[in-house]
């Protein structure tokens, strides 16, 4: 018997409608298919005025030196000016990467270009302990009309120094494997941490710049950036900018604070009274509270790292061997360095830059979310969760 074609069509529509009815029992499916779900945010995200709610941060939680709404509007105007007419900082993005990071790096870079650098046109500097492949260069340069530079890291800035006692270092790695400490087994990871702590700013490709923005593979930038964060750093005399902060895994840095105290006692001349000690210690410096800025995002002043005080601090730490005998990370080293050696006013929380490095995200709240046309869920925001240190930073002012 021949079944007419319309019967097949009618049957298929009926099956789809039945499936829809069954799936509608599930709230996620319902929220995505109901008319109010199309193109609009779930109602729980908005207030009656259509503003973002879901805020852990009360509006107006701004630290001194942060731009006012008016400043931001004025700064936003730079975005519409021609490159040649615009005031610019001597600044660049810095990416440390392996050739194998290419795919995940393009993910980060494309977002930075779309959100900011398509108009800002800052250079990109890529650094690697190996030679970058032509493929790496071709795909990264293709994402931007700004200049890309590719550098190889000098061997002495990367590899475990000869004066490190390899037996001792190996025993420590074995112990960390036993304790299941993340990257505890890895020498390259330690090389990377030491390089980021004490050497990246010495690379010849960075010599011409004053400021840098560190970008890692596989991170997200959620919001349009309509002003120039480098100029903010320069104009407000900031040395370090962050988005996320948290507690360090103490088993990776058991003796870092003792070494820091030893350094501080030997060099009081480097330690300003109005520093950010309160961010890193709850007892005036006796013990470390493990707080650090998450250094996979950094906007910083290269000359601070190149300066006498930080160089002395890094050299002192390096001689202790903790980058290899333990697993000192560049996040606690940079954070303690800047909190100890700079006045707290020179540290800036970029709370209007939406950012994620797995597993934590900073999603701007309130007006900042709307201003940046951010696409992160404002209720998914790490800033004032129990494992974040940002409240301590805000409380310092």
Ligand X SMILES: Nc1nc2c(ncn2[C@@H]2O[C@H](COP(=O)(O)OP(=O)(O)OP(=O)(O)O)[C@@H](O)[C@H]2O)c(=O)[nH]1
The dihedral through the CA atoms of 38, 43, 48, 53 has a sign that is: negative
What is the closest distance, in whole angstroms, from the C-beta atom of residue 294 to Mg ion in the complex? 10
Q: Which does 152 bind (CB under 5 to 8 A by kind): Mg ion, ligand X, none?
A: none
* Catalytic one of 113, 248, 298, 326: 298
154 counts as binding ligand X under rule CB under 6 A:
no
**Residue 248 is among the residues annotated as catalytic for this protein:** no
**Segment 293 to 312, residues that bind Mg ion, using CB under 5 A:** 296
Question: What are the C-alpha distances in Å from 33 to residues 13, 27, 102, 375, 379?
Answer: 17, 10, 36, 20, 22
Q: Which span sits near Mg ion by CB under 5 A: 3-11, 107-115, 214-222, 342-350?
A: 214-222
Instruction: Tell me the three state secondary structure of residue 72.
Output: helix
What is the closest distance, in whole angstroms, from the C-beta atom of residue 329 to Mg ion in the complex? 11
- Tell me the C-alpha distance between 370 and 66, whole Å: 17
Size of the site for Mg ion (CB under 5 A): 2
- Tell me the C-alpha distance between 99 and 294, whole Å: 24
Cβ-based nearer residue to Mg ion, 216 or 251 = 216
Size of the site for ligand X (CB under 6 A): 11
Please list, residue by residue across 299-329, b when 16 or more beta carbons sit within 10 angstroms of its beta carbon and e when fewer do: bbbbebbeeebbebbbebbbebbbbbbbbbb
CA triple 248-107-390, angle to 5 deg: 30
216 counts as binding Mg ion under rule CB under 5 A:
yes
Q: Which does 97 bind (CB under 5 to 8 A by kind): ligand X, Mg ion, none?
A: ligand X
192 counts as binding ligand X under rule CB under 6 A:
yes
Cβ-based nearer residue to ligand X, 101 or 210 = 101
* Cβ neighbour number for residue 382 with a 10 Å cutoff: 21
Provide the mask over 314-353, with x wherever binding to ligand X is found by CB under 6 A and - wherever it is not: ----------------------------------------
When binding is defined by CB under 6 A, the residue of 56, 86, 88, 98 that contacts ligand X is 98
Closest CA to 252 of 290, 195, 207, 280: 290
Q: Which does 128 bind (CB under 5 to 8 A by kind): Mg ion, ligand X, none?
A: ligand X
- Tell me the C-alpha distance between 313 and 342, whole Å: 13
Q: Does 359 sit behind a cis peptide bond, omega within 30 degrees of 0 on the bond before it?
A: yes
Cβ-based nearer residue to ligand X, 249 or 316 = 249
Instruction: Tell me the three state secondary structure of residue 186.
Output: coil
Q: Which does 341 bind (CB under 5 to 8 A by kind): Mg ion, ligand X, none?
A: none
391 counts as binding ligand X under rule CB under 6 A:
no
- Contact status, residue 212 vs residue 300, Cβ threshold 8 Å: yes
What is the closest distance, in whole angstroms, from the C-beta atom of residue 294 to ligand X in the complex? 9
When binding is defined by CB under 6 A, the residue of 72, 89, 96, 291 that contacts ligand X is 96
What is the closest distance, in whole angstroms, from the C-beta atom of residue 51 to ligand X in the complex? 34
Closest CA to 275 of 333, 346, 367, 324: 346
104 counts as binding Mg ion under rule CB under 5 A:
no
Cβ-proximal residues to 280 (8 Å cutoff; 6+ apart), any chain = 288, 289, 291, 292, 335, 336, 339, 340
When binding is defined by CB under 6 A, the residue of 66, 137, 216, 236 that contacts ligand X is 216
71 counts as binding Mg ion under rule CB under 5 A:
no
- Tell me the C-alpha distance between 278 and 3, whole Å: 80
Largest Cα–Cα separation, the chain: 98
Provide the mask over 116-135, with x wherever binding to ligand X is found by CB under 6 A and - wherever it is not: ------------xx------
Provide the mask over 46-85, with x wherever binding to ligand X is found by CB under 6 A and - wherever it is not: ----------------------------------------
When binding is defined by CB under 6 A, the residue of 188, 250, 254, 343 that contacts ligand X is 188
Cβ-proximal residues to 100 (8 Å cutoff; 6+ apart), any chain = none
What is the closest distance, in whole angstroms, from the C-beta atom of residue 69 to Mg ion in the complex? 33
DSSP 286: S
Q: For binding to ligand X (CB under 6 A), which residues are involved?
A: 96-98, 101, 128-129, 188, 192, 216-217, 296
Any idea which residues carry the catalytic annotation? 298
């Amino acid at each position: 018997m021949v079944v007419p074609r319309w019967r097949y069509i009618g049957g298929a529509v009926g099956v789809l409608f039945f499936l829809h009815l069954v799936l509608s029992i599930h709230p996620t499916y319902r929220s995505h298919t109901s008319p109010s779900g199309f193109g609009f945010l779930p109602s729980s995200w908005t207030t009656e005025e259509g503003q973002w709610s879901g805020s852990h941060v009360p509006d107006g939680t701004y630290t001194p030196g942060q731009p006012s709404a008016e400043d931001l509007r004025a700064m936003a105007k730079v975005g519409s000016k021609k490159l040649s007419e615009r005031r610019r900082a001597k600044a660049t993005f810095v990416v440390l990467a392996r050739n194998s990071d290419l795919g995940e790096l393009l993910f980060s870079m494309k977002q930075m270009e779309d959100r900011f650098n398509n108009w800002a046109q800052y250079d990109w500097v890529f650094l690697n302990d190996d030679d970058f492949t032509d493929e790496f260069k071709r795909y990264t340069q293709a994402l931007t009309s700004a200049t890309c530079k590719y550098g190889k890291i000098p061997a002495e800035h990367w590899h475990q120094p000869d004066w490190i006692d390899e037996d001792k270092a190996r025993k420590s790695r074995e112990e960390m494997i036993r304790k299941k400490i993340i990257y505890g087994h890895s020498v390259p990871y330690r090389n990377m941490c030491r390089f980021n702590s004490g050497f990246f700013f010495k690379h010849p490709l960075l010599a011409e710049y004053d400021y840098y923005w560190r970008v890692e593979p596989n991170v997200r930038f959620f919001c349009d950036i309509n002003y120039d964060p480098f100029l903010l750093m320069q104009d407000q005399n900031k040395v370090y900018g962050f988005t996320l902060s948290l507690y360090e895994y103490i088993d990776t840095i058991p003796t870092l604070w003792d070494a820091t105290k030893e350094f501080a006692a030997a060099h009081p001349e480097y330690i300003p009274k109005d520093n950010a000690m309160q961010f890193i210690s709850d007892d005036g410096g006796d013990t470390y509270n493990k707080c650090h800025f998450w250094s996979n995002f950094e906007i910083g002043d290269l000359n601070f790292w190149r300066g006498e005080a930080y160089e002395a601090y890094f050299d002192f730490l390096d001689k202790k061997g903790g980058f290899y005998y333990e697993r000192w990370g560049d996040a606690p080293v940079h954070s303690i360095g800047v909190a100890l050696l700079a006045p707290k006013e020179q540290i800036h929380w970029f709370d209007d830059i939406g950012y994620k490095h797995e597993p934590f995200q900073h999603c701007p709240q309130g007006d900042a979310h709307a201003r940046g046309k951010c696409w992160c869920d404002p209720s998914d925001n790490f800033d004032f969760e129990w494992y974040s240190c940002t409240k301590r930073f805000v409380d310092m002012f």
